[in-house]
Structure 1
Amino acid sequence: MKKRVLFLFIIFSVNISVSQERKLNKAQGTVIEPQDSLLNKDLSRKSKSRNIEKPETVITDYLIISHKNDTTFVDTTLTILKEYKFNYLRKDNFGLMPFSNLGQTYNSLTYNFENTSLMPSFGARARHFNYMEIQDINYYRVPTPLTELLYKSAFEQGQLADSFFTVNTSPQFNFSIAYKGLRSLGKYQHLLTSTGNFRFTTNYQTKNKRYVARAHMVTQDLLNQENGGLQDIMVENFENGVEEFLDRSILEVNFENAENILKGKRFHLEHTYNIINKKDSLSKNKLSIGHIISLKDKSFQYDQSSANTSFFGTAFSSSKFRDRVTLENLYNQLQLNFSNNIIGDLQFNISNNNYNYGYNKVVVLNGNTIANRLKGDVFSAGGKYHKQFKKFELHGELGLNVSGDFEGNFIKAHATFKLNNDLSATASLNHSSKAPNYNALLYQSNHVNYNWQNNFNNTETQQLAFQLKSKKIANILVDYSTITDHTYFKRDSTGIPEGEFVPIKPFQNNKTISYLRVKLEKEIKVGKFALHNTVMYQNTQDENKVLNVPELTTRNTIYYASHVFKKAMYLQTGVTFNYFTAYNMNAYDPLLAEFYVQTEKEYGNFPRLDFFINAKIRQTRIYLKAEHFNSAFTGYNYFAAPNNPYRDFTVRFGLVWNFFM
């Protein structure tokens, strides 16, 4: 019955989308006009008789404004980059290794140590891949109401859906509302995922543009059942491809009575008032004051019906328990902005973070008291600079904590030179000193070994990067980073007798790590065929082997693309090859929701082949993919983390549907 309903929905979607007439604007793109029905023809005749010209609305009028005020427009085309972004995160996940079920975590195959944060981050980082931060929220300006619907099949029972609507009630006021929801049972025992991301945004400006404001509200809940991965004996059955266990629900897991959930709420407002406003391009000065206020409330919770001492070690209570940690943070920033045609754009700001992180109990362990709260105020000062002169553009940003319990500072600068419409080069420099994440500083749990309070040094990073962008040549990114006092999780066998449980604890590396990345992206087209290549080389100089990455990661897609059926449909079909070399892949701890370093076994060195057929009919993009179709004949050695297999062969379907009213 469900399949029939889904089929009817698809047919209905395609029929409706075909019926929406769109004319092509020669310069920019699609003209959003209704089909010429009899009523429209009558109205057209009346308009002509009155000498009234109806303005055309083009796709470039539907604006998307990023957190950094970069503006793009709604893109309804079907490209290979759209294929890469049609996933749970809705962004290119190159460099991420997904777990078996949709909505689980990702193992990181690469890292970017550029940072402009002055405060510690909340823990449970493995749960944050789908957690929408301030920089992930966009704002909109549209001439007519815009709707986007996304659907994608999940694993076993469930589906992924993302619905979005935005409208300008006037040229000055816009709001948008969106919700992304997922429910997926998964192929293995006790692996249900259920997530939701609700977003509401608004932006407003007065008619004279002196006052501008934008705000958003986001509520998120990301729930995962946890099973601790396959039992060791079951790993052997998986790797050997034992026929009995090709039904993955038969494979035994470490436990079936736990789940964790990350919840978050955020209320964010940015507004500015122009004291001296530029009236035209000849004006030299502009002066404005700005204010940002952001309130976030986050919690991470781990529930288990009974303590699993063989997996996590001894516990204070063997019965049902709950570990829960919360963070409340109120951020305020005051800005003074000055622009001058000669000097450029300057900003001076002062900020305050009022934070409250911790638990509702105090733990005494081996005579040592572990506090339950980290709270206080941190005051910061900073500035920004921007200047564009002909083909040269310069950006600079800095920040410094001047008082409070957390020290921190950062400096970021990058310069871009645009040689022509195709070729541009960017050089950037970033220095950062920031306290480790909250869960490395303070953690409490029902399990004895998961209780600590540390006084770690700041992690210091320096990064030098160079980027070349060119469709004719290639997109090339090179960055070199050094990391001092890197914080990580690892099993600590110090003082543990052989054969007994080895606990996981946070550590700080006492050596400086050198980390080089070289990434190349290039598409080669011959007629209607194309080969899109993304290749990354990585090298680490790390005596303690705490930052482990594959030396080579590659994604290569060969595909065919053309209009068919008298250009009524645009078709795209091909095969994507994913591969990374073997390395000491990080393991996953479900209680912390963190990855930890392991050096016992290498994982990787397996190919992943995906066959896809995509189509575009008017404003509807349809996606059909046979994922990992080579799984049965290239060996069962594919893991997303130790004891956590990657996905078997599966066929999935989805679509993205835009409405322009």
Structure 2
Amino acid sequence: MFNSLKTFQNKNSLKTNGLVLTCLFISFFSTVYAQQKPIKTIEGPSDFVQDSIRETRGLRPIEGNNEKSEDKIAKIEDYLIISVERDTTYLDTTLTIQKEYKFNYLRKDNFGLMPFSNLGQTYNSLTYNFQNTSLMPSFGARARHFNYWEIEDINYYRVPTPLTELFFKTAFEQGQLVDSFITINTSPQFNFSIAYKGLRSLGKYQHLLTSTGNFRFTSNYQAKNGRYNARGHIVTQDLMNQENAGIRDSEVSKFENGDEEFLDRSIFEVGFENAESLLLGKRFHLEHEYKLIQKDSLSKNEIKLGHIMSFEDKYFQYDQSSRSASYFGEAFVSSDIKDRATLENFYNEVYINYNNNIIGDLQFNLRNNNYNYGYNQLVSLEDNTIITNRLKGDIYSAGGKYRKQYKGFELQGEFGLNISGDFDGNFLMARATFNLNEDIAASASLNHSSKAPNYNTLLYQSDYKNYNWQNGFNNTESQQLAFNLKYKQLANITVDLNTLTDYVYFKQDENVSVDDVKQSIKPYQNGSTITYIRAKFENEIKVGKFALNNTVLYQNVQDENNTLNVPELTTRNTLYFSSQLFDNAMFLQTGVTFNYFTKYYMNAYNPVLAEFYVQNETEYGNFPRLDFFINAKIRQTRLFLKAEHFNSAFTGYNYYSAPNNPYRDFTVRFGVVWNFFM
């Protein structure tokens, strides 16, 4: 019955997505019509944000009655975007090279990520950031989380008039990518937003369909007297991928030789054509606070009492109609492989925040995590080992934050410590930032973290016998020392030094030969210390209407066990031309982007776990990727046209996203970002 229901849900997901998009389109056009009327601007914030990169600590209290204010024309600076940290920027409708970098499936700069061939698949990581302020293990299935919206990915809004945005981009073969968004302030005190991102893409290779959906609803409220503030969001996500394990080993030479017969990628034989994975999650999040003592002309002190509550329910499921013994080994069943790992996490935090003009911003908090991860039954292995089905309990922790800003100097700090429960953990983060002037800024940060490994490394159950384990790993400890120096657009240099102890990773089972089972993957812990250095250089040189934008990353790893593999050099260079045309009616930007990384032992992908694992047999990389683009802006509409990887036919067929998973061939794609507001 469950199989039938699951099939019905998959077949009807597109219908549901279409219904949601239709409703949003109706809202958009209704909003556009409504925006033709004169409308009054929300008072206050426009002088609070000076430019698109200035950070603040939230909005000032709203004063007076907006209905009695004079009519004003809304400014672009009034359309505010507020992050989870309450840093505020405003809407940016310009066309820059950064907009070109962010016009992708993730809608953010994906430098350091190697996309797979189909849109909506996973990404292979070319670099890692080990700065961490979490006290709890992560869920696992990390290869499926690149497009999973976490709490820190959600923004809140405050707008003088309704604001809408429509994003569209073509996919591979059948399907498209759409992201629709609308936000409205029903009053100066209350704002809400609704957004939905949907994708369907068939892909070039057999059995590689992707179908994903991310629904987001946010709201925020501020009392007229400024004492009470609340904000929250609801997010539901459904990320489905067909799995084929890549092209078979016997097909690799046909791909690399560039045989004309196989330029039609659909004729390649893949590992299997009977599996799919699904990551589904929903989250309800609320933050609210009340000012017990409020700053005014007589008092320089402020005391706030706050509460954060978040409930998240998610699961990862791998389905396969019949077992693939040559890939994953023997199974308890011969058909209907169905692995499902679930996590329910209920988070509560209470805090008290004290702010003083001299001391700064000081906070103390108490937190509780009620977690329940696992499976529905116990598993008994052939050697009589019993694999339990649940990791559940309560973690109580304490922490604090500090922030002080004085002229061009800012000091930040944060710490957390688990004081009760089955998982130990602690972190400490400190950062100092100094702005010498508008052109020069420098910062230094220190981060220490001790945290339990991901849930799926501690406990995993599968219908495949080799994918069952229960481990008592030590906490992974990391230390990071980072520096940043920025001078205008000419130089942005970031250097960080990382040390890792008890690093947990996946690799082929040491007791199983790849000749017998191609992927018998298990988690291991590296008992030695890893030293990892990164140095990143960014700059842009402009000469007239031409510009050269550069991002270069150097990495070095000292690891005697070869468990953390990254390319030594990764670079992205864009030469482009920008100009106003047709009496400034259109802004044009066109150029070529060069992407490259040196050869290294690239991680391989395992679909059963939705994880990447370490392999040290074959090096991949050392291939260029050239993209030609033409972008244009007409009023509030940005148009994008790109010839992706146009050099694929003449620089060699050695381009891979992961072992047995070739990267994309030459293709032309286009899209649009369209904003509506007054």
1:365-376 alignment to 2 at 5 Å? Answer: 365=381, 366-376=383-393
What amino acid maps onto 1:583 in structure 2? Y
User: Which of residues 571, 588, 604 is equivalent to 2:588?
Assistant: 571
Match of 2:319 in 1: 303
Q: Among the aligned pairs, what percent are the same residue? A: 73
- 1:415-461 CA-to-partner distances (Å, cap 9, x unmatched) read 00110011110000000000000000000000000000000000000
Match of 1:240 in 2: 257
What amino acid maps onto 1:312 in structure 2? F
Match of 1:551 in 2: 568
Q: Note if 1:334 corresponds to 2:350.
A: yes
Match of 1:481 in 2: 498
- 1:299-342 CA-to-partner distances (Å, cap 9, x unmatched) read 00000000110100010001112100100000000001001111
Distance 1:301 1:319 in 2: 16
Contact 1:178/1:200 (<8 A) preserved: yes
- CA displacement at 1:390 relative to structure 2: 1.9
- CA displacement at 1:54 relative to structure 2: 3.7
- CA displacement at 1:28 relative to structure 2: 7.9
Distance 2:487 2:219 in 1: 35
Match of 1:346 in 2: 362
Match of 1:293 in 2: 309
Distance 1:497 1:204 in 2: 57
Contact 2:606/2:613 (<8 A) preserved: yes
User: Which of residues 368, 373, 376 is equivalent to 1:360?
Assistant: 376
Match of 1:639 in 2: 656
Match of 2:459 in 1: 442
Match of 2:102 in 1: 85
- CA displacement at 1:471 relative to structure 2: 1.5
- 1:550-572 CA-to-partner distances (Å, cap 9, x unmatched) read 00000000000000011100000
- 1:132-172 CA-to-partner distances (Å, cap 9, x unmatched) read 00000000000000000000000000000000000000000
- CA displacement at 1:495 relative to structure 2: 6.4
Contact 1:20/1:618 (<8 A) preserved: no
Partner secondary structure for residue 252 of structure 2: helix
Which TM-score applies when normalising by structure 1? Answer: 0.92
Distance 1:165 1:252 in 2: 44
Contact 1:484/1:513 (<8 A) preserved: yes
Distance 1:125 1:59 in 2: 38
User: Which of residues 496, 521, 524 is equivalent to 1:504?
Assistant: 521
Q: Note if 1:119 corresponds to 2:136.
A: yes
- CA displacement at 1:20 relative to structure 2: 9.6
Match of 1:591 in 2: 608
User: Which of residues 412, 431, 445 is equivalent to 1:428?
Assistant: 445
Contact 1:614/1:624 (<8 A) preserved: yes
- 1:30-63 CA-to-partner distances (Å, cap 9, x unmatched) read 9xxxxxxxxxxxxxxxxxxxxx964121100000
User: Which of residues 67, 72, 75 is equivalent to 2:84?
Assistant: 67
Distance 2:227 2:513 in 1: 66
1:131-150 alignment to 2 at 5 Å? Answer: 131-150=148-167
- CA displacement at 1:493 relative to structure 2: 2.7
Q: Note if 1:491 corresponds to 2:491.
A: no
What amino acid maps onto 1:433 in structure 2? S
Partner secondary structure for residue 457 of structure 2: helix
Q: Note if 1:184 corresponds to 2:201.
A: yes
Partner secondary structure for residue 481 of structure 1: strand
Partner secondary structure for residue 229 of structure 2: strand
- CA displacement at 1:497 relative to structure 2: 9.7
- 1:386-416 CA-to-partner distances (Å, cap 9, x unmatched) read 1112221000000000000000000000000
- CA displacement at 1:494 relative to structure 2: 2.5
- CA displacement at 1:519 relative to structure 2: 0.3
- After alignment, is 620-629 or 337-346 more displaced? 337-346
User: Which of residues 161, 164, 168 is equivalent to 1:151?
Assistant: 168
Distance 1:247 1:87 in 2: 25
- CA displacement at 1:260 relative to structure 2: 0.2
Match of 1:316 in 2: 332
Contact 1:496/1:502 (<8 A) preserved: no
Q: Note if 1:203 corresponds to 2:220.
A: yes
- 1:624-659 CA-to-partner distances (Å, cap 9, x unmatched) read 000000000000000000000000000000000000
Q: Note if 1:519 corresponds to 2:536.
A: yes
Residues 560 and 498 of structure 1, relative CA distance in 2, 3 Å threshold: closer
Partner secondary structure for residue 255 of structure 1: coil
Distance 2:150 2:254 in 1: 40
- 1:492-527 CA-to-partner distances (Å, cap 9, x unmatched) read 233659756562100000110000000000000000
Distance 1:484 1:228 in 2: 32
What amino acid maps onto 2:316 in structure 1? F
Aligned length: 622
Q: List structure 1 segments (4+ residues) > 3 angstroms apart after TM superposition.
A: 27-30, 495-502
Match of 1:43 in 2: none
Contact 1:313/1:448 (<8 A) preserved: yes
Distance 2:50 2:585 in 1: 20
Contact 2:199/2:213 (<8 A) preserved: yes
Residues 55 and 362 of structure 1, relative CA distance in 2, 3 Å threshold: same
- CA displacement at 1:29 relative to structure 2: 9.8
Distance 2:204 2:489 in 1: 43
Contact 2:327/2:519 (<8 A) preserved: no
Partner secondary structure for residue 486 of structure 1: strand
Match of 1:659 in 2: 676
Distance 2:435 2:224 in 1: 34
- 1:362-396 CA-to-partner distances (Å, cap 9, x unmatched) read 10111111000000000000000011122210000
Which TM-score applies when normalising by structure 2? Answer: 0.90
What amino acid maps onto 1:314 in structure 2? E
Gaps of 5+ in 2: 1-24, 38-45, 53-68
- After alignment, is 255-264 or 315-324 more displaced? 315-324
Distance 2:329 2:51 in 1: 61
Contact 2:328/2:520 (<8 A) preserved: yes
What amino acid maps onto 2:632 in structure 1? A
- After alignment, is 495-504 or 376-385 more displaced? 495-504
- 1:577-630 CA-to-partner distances (Å, cap 9, x unmatched) read 000000000000001000000000000000000000000000000000000000
Partner secondary structure for residue 256 of structure 1: coil
Match of 1:626 in 2: 643
- 1:275-298 CA-to-partner distances (Å, cap 9, x unmatched) read 000124x63210110000000001
Distance 1:87 1:248 in 2: 23
What amino acid maps onto 1:220 in structure 2? Q
Contact 1:493/1:502 (<8 A) preserved: no
Contact 1:28/1:58 (<8 A) preserved: no
User: Which of residues 282, 287, 292 is equivalent to 1:275?
Assistant: 292
Distance 2:589 2:597 in 1: 26
Match of 2:14 in 1: none
Superposition RMSD on alpha carbons, in Å? 2.0
Distance 2:117 2:544 in 1: 37
Contact 1:29/1:59 (<8 A) preserved: no
Contact 1:352/1:380 (<8 A) preserved: yes
Partner secondary structure for residue 126 of structure 1: helix
What amino acid maps onto 1:291 in structure 2? H
Contact 1:155/1:185 (<8 A) preserved: yes
Residues 150 and 134 of structure 1, relative CA distance in 2, 3 Å threshold: same
- CA displacement at 1:470 relative to structure 2: 1.9
What amino acid maps onto 1:328 in structure 2? E
